[in-house]
Amino acid sequence: MSRDKRIRRVLKALNNFLIFFLLVGFIVSCCTMLFVEVMSRTMGLELTSENIAAAAKITMLNVILLTLLLTLCDIIRRRLTVDRPVKTILNAGRRLTGGDFTVRIDTKKMSALDDGFEEIAECFNKMAEELSHTETLRSDFVANVSHELKTPLAVMQNYASLLASPDLEEEKRVEYARGISDASRRLAALITNILRLTKLENQQITPSFEEYDLSEQLCECLLGFEDAWEKKGLEIETDIESDVSIRSDAEMMSLVWNNLFSNAIKFTESGGTVSLTLKTEGEYAVVSVRDTGCGISREVGERMFDKFYQGDGSRATQGNGLGLALVKRVIDITGSEISVESELGKGTTFTVRTRRS
């Protein structure tokens, strides 16, 4: 304990002593005066100044003794009912700060004391619980990110060392080089998505709501995939009500459409159909993206908005498991709604509802 603290403690004890002294002195004086007054009147006693002086000295001693006793009692009471629980809470707080999220305070011990301490302990436990949740989420996220980042890096490293070997056939060389460029492209897409998601989660991007033409945005976003659907030989059906405007953040919403379209195209076999409809239902603009792809099972459906979750491990090379997490985040921020209908083997429909302006 530092010197400062010790001095403060002593001063506090002195302070308490003084208060008790004044209190006891006041009470004893009052009682004595009343007692003596009544005694002298009823019994007709004459009090000499010597008598009083002697009695006063004894009384004074008595007062000091009583005060000491009271101060001691107070210190002990304090130790038991205040200092000890405060110390327990402080220690727990220190452990929590040190990163130990398992720490909890025994509320039973606290219940014997003042109500306040029990409440504080309960509140503390709840806080520790919440912190441990975020901590697991964070460490899961870090584990996932590092896995997803390292895999393409490992692929690139392997291909690079293969490329370094002499007398490589032309065919192999091209194959390895393509492997490297595919992996790096995937890595780039992943990093872009991680950065976007982090930005969205930290709310660094505050949505800038403006009225804009949703019909046009959907057309433009879908046209961005023209090459992709032509390469895959997909049928595209569109039924877009024209001149539907919404009030939202156009750039963020384009993330939603791009991710939904790219998923629909990714999971539909060639010859399949991807359709996009935009309709108005009262106050809402309703966008549906339907595909005739492999569909989503119930278990996958429950977790598909989680970060890094991928329904089908074998398709892991085609995405990074962040697309729908991004979509969900944007939907939440912009106050829209998203729902999914799916049947295994038949296809999936994503429906987004946004309030019209």
Partner 1 sequence: MFKILVVEDNEELNRSVCSFLNRSGYEATGCLCAEDAYDAMYSNVFDLIVSDVMMPEIDGFEFAKTVRSLNEDIPILFMTALDDFASKQRGYRVGIDDYMVKPIDLDELFLRIGALLRRSKIASSRRLSVGDFSMDIDEHTAYWRGEEIALTLREFNLLYKLLSYPKRTFTRTQLMDEFWDADTQASTRTVDVYMTKLRAKLSECDSFSIVTVHGLGYKAVIK
Given a contact cutoff of 8 angstroms between Cβ atoms, the answer to whether 261 and 225 are in contact is yes
Q: Contact residues for partner 1 (CB under 8 A)?
A: 184-185, 188, 192, 213, 215-216, 219-220, 222-223, 226, 236-240, 242-243, 251
Q: Please name every residue paired with 280 in a beta bridge, in sequence order, or none if there are none.
A: 285
Q: Which residue has the tokens 């309709």?
A: 279
Q: How far is the CB of 334 from partner 1 (least distance, A)?
A: 15
Tell me whether residue 79 or residue 185 sits nearer to partner 1 (CB atom). 185
- Smallest gap from Cβ 189 to partner 1, in A, equals 9
| Smaller CB separation from partner 1, 6 or 178 | 178
Least separation in angstroms between CB 129 and partner 1:
37
CB atoms within 10 A of CB 300: 15
SS3 212: strand
Closer to partner 1 by Cβ: residue 110 or 183: 183
Q: Judged by CB, which is closer to partner 1: 96, or 222?
A: 222
Q: How far is the CB of 223 from partner 1 (least distance, A)?
A: 5
Question: Closest approach of Cβ 347 to partner 1, in Å?
Answer: 18
Residues counted in the chain:
357
- Contact (Cβ atoms closer than 8 angstroms) between residue 126 and residue 119: no
Tell me how far apart the alpha carbons of residues 325 and 310 are, in angstroms, rounded to a whole number.
11
Helix/strand/coil percent split, the chain, to 5: 65, 15, 20
Long-range CB contact pairs, 132-141, < 8 A, 24+ = 132/101, 132/102, 135/101, 141/307, 141/308
- What residues form DSSP beta bridges with 349? 290, 341
* Residue 287: strand pairing partners: 278, 352
Q: How far is the CB of 230 from partner 1 (least distance, A)?
A: 10
Q: Which is nearer to partner 1, 16 or 184 (CB)?
A: 184
With respect to partner 1, which residue has the nearer C-beta, 130 or 237?
Answer: 237
